[in-house]
Structure formats: structure tokens, C-alpha cells
Amino acid sequence: MQKRVKFDFEIHFTNGGSISGKDFRLDIEGDAITDKDLADYIVADLRLLMVGQTKILNKEIFDENHKRKPINIKPETDVLIDLSHTIENGLITYKGLPAPIICDYLSRENSKQFYAEGAEFQIGKIEMVSNTGTYIDCPFHRFADGKDLSEVGLESFTDLEGIVIRVPFSETLEITEEHLKNYEIRNRAVLIQTDWDKHWNTELYYENHPALTRGAAEYLRDCAVKLVGIDSHNIDDTRTKARPVHTVLLGAEILIVEHLCNLYLLPEDGFIFSAIPPKFKGVGTFPVRAMAKIRKNISET
């Protein structure tokens, strides 16, 4: 049997005044709907502005045939995809570098001596190197006179037009300029999907991983890309001590994001990429919450 909801509502405005309604009836999908979803629907359907406190009262869900499209089937809008690994206590990102220590500086139990009953807090303490988890490299990471995280502008890592170039590690570990041709990459965040992230937090992850060649880095630089990311252990081949890709890209102030994941969830293009670090002075790399926003038109649903 189909479900409907009956409810009263009160909506107050931040600039004064209010409206209310009684015994509203609407079709819903499933057996339940939250008060917030009902309030959001009323606000949107009536095109209300300056909305403050909302109340849904006397909500009752009952069996009845639908009169129109159920309100909690929402049109498809922008989708956010998390491209970052989770950082946890003891995680090894790069062999030879210490794992993070994540613990309480002030536990909830110990906080009771400082706060009123029922107002406990936890304050965490983190000790780690900046190359931990999914992180971004800026020029200071490679060059002493390069821009550090506090000097890199927001436009360098926020809301960038993105493109994914898929070069599976099962086909090659060496990513050359030939793999990067025939794509629209100028002024974009270029994300290289190798599928190496499936080895994350295993012994396989650290060695013989996919990497770019110097030629690939020079091609990306010459095409004036904004940022380059990879879902591998390093954008350079760590079997050698040279780091030509970091040198070429960071020398051109093209930021690098390493240890990405979930790139298989993205379309080739049509998304916005962001990887935002804290504003640290004197630091050249730091963990980020890398993400993609896939743009969808409501008219396509």
C-alpha cells in the first residue's frame, strides 16, 4: 500500500513574521520521512526566503494511494566523491617515515574536572610527519625558495576542472607522455588512475609501483595543467633516488596530490576537484581531504 503523511507546520522568518499550516497531506516514498525533509519541501515548494526556525507538528503516516510524485524522491543533483584514504593511528604511508600517533590530549573522562556535569569534551593530539595519508605537495616541498602551503593561493587546489586518465598498473608501471595525449588537460587537475590504491596499507603498496616519467611531467608542464594527482605510492619512481617528476612539476608551481583512491568512481571528465590543506607556514606537504564533485543536471534525471 502507498503511504502519505499528514502534518501541521510552523515556519518563522529571520526578519520577522511566520506562517503556519494544518492538516497538510503529501505523498511519500517508503514508510517514513524526517521532519527536516518535510520542512525543506515546504520551504522549497512555497519558495520561501529568510527562513529561520521550523516546526513539524502532529505528523502522522498512513496508507492511501498517491496523488502525485512522492516528495522524498529527490532529484539527482551534484554528487560528492571522497578520494582520500583514512588516516588512523599507526598507519604507514611511506616506509621509513614514522606512522602517526593519534591519541587523547584531554580525554572525556579527564575533562570532567574542568567542565560542568554533562559537558565533557575530547581534545585530540596528533604527532605525524606531513607525508601522511593522501597529501598535497607544493613547491617548498622540493625547493627551499618555493611557495609553502601558506603562500599557495586557494585557486591552485580548489574547484578545479578535473579529468581522469586511466593507465592500469596491470598494463604498465611506466606512465609516459604518450599515455597523456589526446585529452583535454590544459588548466585542469589531471588525475592518473592506475588502480594501485587497491594495495593500500599492504606490503605490495610500497614497491614497484606505477609512476610518471620525466617526459610525462614535462608534457604536463608544457600543457599548463593546474595540478596532477595519482592513486599510487609516489608520482616518481622510488626505485631510484632521482625525483624528476617532482622537480619538473613543482618547479612550474604545479601541485601534486599522491595516494588518491576511488578514482574508478569518477567519469573521465565533467567533475570538479579539490584537495585543500591547512594554511601552514614553512611546510611543503600535508594531508588533504581530496574530493570530486560530479555535476549532474536535474533535467537529465
Which has the closest alpha carbon to 32: 74, 60, 68, 1? 60
Residue corresponding to grid cell 529527490: 74
Q: Write down the pLDDT at residue 76.
A: 61
The string of pLDDT tens digits covering residues 181-234 is 999 999 999 999 999 999 999 999 999 999 999 999 999 999 999 999 999 999
Q: Per-residue pLDDT tens for 141-183?
A: 999 999 999 999 999 999 999 999 999 999 999 999 999 999 9
Residue that the C-alpha cell 521532519 belongs to? 35
Reported as a single tens digit per residue, the pLDDT across 60-88 is 999 988 887 777 765 567 899 999 999 99
CA distances from 48 to 9, 13, 19 (A): 14, 9, 10
pLDDT band at 30 (very low <50, low <70, confident <90, very high): confident
Distance between alpha carbon 293 and the CA centroid of its chain, in Å? 8
pLDDT of residue 67: 81
Torsion of CA 124, 129, 131, 132, to 10 degrees: -30
How high is the mean pLDDT of the chain? 94
Tens digit of each residue's pLDDT (9 = 90 or more) over 224-257 = 999 999 999 999 999 999 999 999 999 999 999 9
For 247, the enclosing helix (H) or strand (E) is: helix 244-251
Round to whole Å and give the CA distance between 38 and 58: 12
Q: What is the pLDDT of residues 121-139, one digit of tens each?
A: 999 999 999 999 999 999 9
Residue 298 pLDDT greater than 90, yes or no = no
Mean local confidence (pLDDT), 104-123? 95
**For residue 194, is it left (φ>0), alpha (ψ between -120 and 50) or beta?**
alpha
- The whole-number pLDDT of residue 295 equals 75
Q: What is the pTM of this model?
A: 0.86
| pLDDT at 299 exceeding the cut of 60 | no
